[in-house]
Amino acid sequence: MTITLPQKQYMELTIDQKLLDSLPTLRLSEMEWLQGKLKELLPNERQKLKESLEKRGFKVPFFIWQDGQYNWIVDGHQRHLLLSEEGFAETAFPVVFVQAATLKEAKELVLLISSRYGTESKDGFAEFMAGLDAEFIKLATTFDGLLDLDIPDDLDIIEEDPKETKELDDDIETKHRCPECGYEW
């Protein structure tokens, strides 16, 4: 079961009831920004985030650190910004409380969450998106340089069975031969 929030907001947003029932909640107005101006939400990214939230709903809770006085956002700053601008400041959202001993440690968590520890490749991205809805990929993805794969609207990627083995013709000419075992390549 999902709930649809009242129409006084500028955008429509659905929050999964199971998420609301299973986690504590805070209103956006009760949350404080920890990252400051570390990241900027550009207009095209804002639009993608808005469309993604409208289409898929609010699915991932905010990560919050409490210092005894404030509820500091560790993860979810861009969603907080967008949802606040869209009229949801007094709406309660699911949160997960994270542990940090000090403000310094909480800021370090922000950096850890915001950092990229890997680089997407076009081959890896194409393989990962197999079976996903092309519309959603175009909507939700902000990976620079990966969306120029010319994703068709009627995405029909054939997933190969990794257990399948392809037989090679025995009469392929080879240029190399191992003197030890006779293996040719």
**Which pLDDT score is estimated for 118?**
81
What does each C-alpha distance from 183 to 133, 166, 174 come to in angstroms? 44, 18, 10
Tokens of residue 117, six digits: 């520890």
Do residues 95 and 23 lie in contact, with contact meaning Cβ atoms separated by under 8 Å? yes
**Which pLDDT score is estimated for 157?**
45
pTM of the model: 0.69
**Which pLDDT score is estimated for 117?**
80
pLDDT digits (tens, 9 = 90+) for 124-181: 877 887 887 777 777 666 655 555 555 555 444 444 454 454 454 455 565 666 666 6
Give the span between the Cα atoms of 169 and 165, in whole angstroms.
Answer: 13
Name which residue leads in pLDDT, 144 or 84: 84
Q: What residue ranges do the domains of the chain occupy? A: 2-115, 119-160
**Which pLDDT score is estimated for 149?**
54
Name which residue leads in pLDDT, 175 or 65: 65
pLDDT digits (tens, 9 = 90+) for 12-51: 899 988 999 999 999 999 999 999 889 999 998 999 999 9
Pairing mode, if any, of strands 62-66 and 25-27?
unpaired
Q: What kind of fold does domain 2-115 have according to CATH?
A: 3.90.1530
pLDDT band at 122 (very low <50, low <70, confident <90, very high): confident
